Each structure stands twice: as C-alpha cells, then as structure tokens.
Amino acid sequence: MEPSVIDSVALAGSVASSHDMTPLGLFLQADWVVKAVMIMLLVASLWCWAIIFDKVMTIRKLRRNAAQFEESFWSGGSLEDLYDRIGNRPSDPMSSIFAAAMREWRRSAAKGLTATGQLRASLRSRIDQAMNVTIGREMESLEKSMPFLASVGSVAPFVGLFGTVWGIMNSFSSIAVSKNTSLAVVAPGIAEALFATALGLVAAIPAVIAYNKLSNDLGKYAARMEAFSVEFGSILSRQLDEGE
C-alpha cells in the first residue's frame, strides 16, 4: 500500500475516533448556531407533543360529556329542571349552549317578551344569537394552540435545513483551513449538519399529522354543537308557537 493511502486511512481513523457519532455527541460537537437550531427544534417538538396529548384527552372528555348531556336532554325530562341542575355551572360546551339559550328564554319570559308574534320572533333571534356566540367562544377556546402545531409543521423543516446549510458551510471552511480534501475531515461536520435536518423532520411530521387529525375531530365536534343548537332552537320555537 502506498504511503499516501496509508496516511489517508490513518487520518480517517483518527478523525472518526475523535468524534462521537451518537446523537448526543453530534449535538455537543456542533457549531453554536447549529446547536441553537437543534435546541429550538427539540423544544418545539416537546411542546407539540404536550399540545397533542392535551388535545387528545380533551376531545375524548368532550365526546363523553356530550353523550351524557344528550342522554339527559333527550330523556324526556323537564328542560327547566335540567337547566336548574346545570345552568349555573355548565361542565362542557354542549351544556354551555343549552344554558345560554335557556338563560335568554327565562329572561325574556320574566319580562313578558313572549306576548306578541313580533316579540316572539325577536326572542327566537336572540336565542339563536346566544347559542351561536357560545359556539364561537367554545371553539375559540378548543382551538387554542392549534396554530402552533401548524406553524411547527410548516416551518420546522426549513429551520432544520438552515442548520444543515450552516453546518456544511463550516465543513467546507474546515477544508479551506486544513487544505485537506479528505472526506474524513468534513464527514463529522456534515453528519452534525444533517442531524439538524433530521430533528426538523422529527418535529414537523408529528405536528402535521396531529394538526390534520385534531382539526378534523374539532370540526366534527363543532358540527355536533351546531346540530344541537338547531334542534334545540326548533324545540323552543315550537313551544313559543304553542303558547300563542
């Protein structure tokens, strides 16, 4: 074997042995800019998983509470008794919609605003508005933190790519300084740089999947609330018409 080849093999072995190629080692040996990118992506990934876990548990609870409320609502019992039981402290969005409508109903009935057809039409409009406002408020609360998932899903790969480009630039700078074009000189730096891209994908892929799934689940729950508000509005409207 020629001396130059022997020297190259020896150099490659010495460089590889001096660099820890484990994920922790790649992080510790990376440039401070690449480190900052990696830390940012790790924090974003952890925060995404916290949001995902919280939303999944919240949606499960909402479905369970909605089923319980609908069972009580359609059981044939008195709506007045149901409102007295949950009106002051509704435990879920569906109960809040019911409470908002009943609250407006009682206020108008107490002031005698159901006496004429015109007043009854105005009451129907106020009840519908109260339920719609409640739906909007509840959905705004449920969709909190969802934009963060969308942002991470779309931005994280580019942040990781920035770390990769920066790391590769440093690797080529090392070639210029050492005047050695051996792959062993630049391989550790390139590995550190590519690790940033990997972290970007690790943060982005779960965020995108979770955002699509949670958005779909929240959309179905919103449709469920809107369907209930329409049905309940129809019930109250019939009661007003029967009271003529």
Cα–Cα distance for residue pair 18/7, rounded to 1 Å: 16
**pLDDT tens, position by position, 121-177:** 778 888 889 999 999 999 999 999 999 999 999 999 999 888 888 888 777 776 666
What average pLDDT is seen over the chain? Answer: 81
Q: What is the CA radius of gyration of the chain?
A: 31
**pLDDT tens, position by position, 84-93:** 888 778 888 9
Domain ranges of the chain: 3-242
Q: Is the pLDDT of residue 65 over 60?
A: yes
Dihedral of CA atoms 188, 189, 190, 191 in degrees, nearest 10, equals: 50
HSE (side-chain half, CA atoms, 13 Å) at 130: 22
**pLDDT tens, position by position, 172-212:** 776 666 666 666 666 666 777 788 888 999 999 999 999 99
- Per-residue pLDDT band for 1 (boundaries 50, 70, 90) equals very low
Q: What percent of the chain has pLDDT over 70?
A: 75
Both tokens of 239, joined, read 């009661």
Helix pair 146-178, 183-242: axis angle to 10 deg: 170
